[in-house]
Amino acid sequence: MNVLGWTGDTNVPPGAQPFRRGRWTALLASSDSTKTPHARLAIQVSWFDTGFDFIPVAPAQQLTRADVTGAACLGNLETIWKNIEGRGQFWLAVRPRDEHRSMPCQGRAWLQTRKARQDQERHHKTLLDKIVKELNLPVNACQQGAQRASSAILVPRHAAQKTRLAIAQIAQKHETSADVTLAVSGLWPPLAFTQKGLGTA
């Protein structure tokens, strides 16, 4: 059995096996159905989509019941829960419309293209920072690289649609070159906001 999350609720989503640790219940799923990070994520998303609120464990971590028996993270669950209860995350990414431009094969031209890409990434980060600042919602650290800048924002479930519209409006306000696109995805379980303090002993 693998641990996919924590809940303070006595009810657990369909398919989850509860394992109580004090006030908290670890949500377990069979090892067969949770072999890969994608499989673990798929189950977490299915739980989240039913409206069930829980603290998701990073899908890349394969935590067993034995791991959480000695978990040092129980003290942090309360704090994490206060931050994410009733919330999900949107994932925002500013990226070039065409991500697969061919690279020159001459050394000097290659270096100049890399410089242009670096400038572009800086521009993407500035644009994303502006959008996120105007939204005025909790945000995780911006990730930069691979020609894009991306961030996750924490959004109340009931305000998801309103936030989506606000993102579109803010993005339209900012004049940028025609080759930039803002991708929005969600609502996802708030994975980017739960990992600090969820380490195991």
Which residues contact another protein (rule: CB under 8 A)?
Answer: 37-38, 40-41, 58-62, 91, 93-94, 97, 103, 105-112, 114-115, 118, 127, 141, 143-146, 150, 167-168, 171-172, 174-176, 178, 180-185, 188, 191-192, 195, 199
CB of 31 to another protein, least distance (A): 14
Q: What is the DSSP letter of 158?
A: G
**62 vs 70: CA distance, rounded Å:** 15
Per the DSSP assignment, residues forming a β-bridge with 151 are 92
Of the pair 18, 101, the CB lying nearest another protein is at 101
**Are the C-beta atoms of residues 26 and 19 closer than 8 Å to each other?**
yes
Which is nearest to 153 in space by CA: 98, 93, 80?
93
Q: Give ∠ CA 185-7-11 in degrees, rounded to 5.
A: 105
CB of 120 to another protein, least distance (A): 13
Of the pair 23, 97, the CB lying nearest another protein is at 97
Of the pair 15, 96, the CB lying nearest another protein is at 96
CB of 10 to another protein, least distance (A): 27
CB of 187 to another protein, least distance (A): 12
CB of 75 to another protein, least distance (A): 18
**178 vs 154: CA distance, rounded Å:** 28
**Are the C-beta atoms of residues 173 and 127 closer than 8 Å to each other?**
no
Other CB atoms within 10 A of residue 114 CB: 12
Of the pair 159, 168, the CB lying nearest another protein is at 168
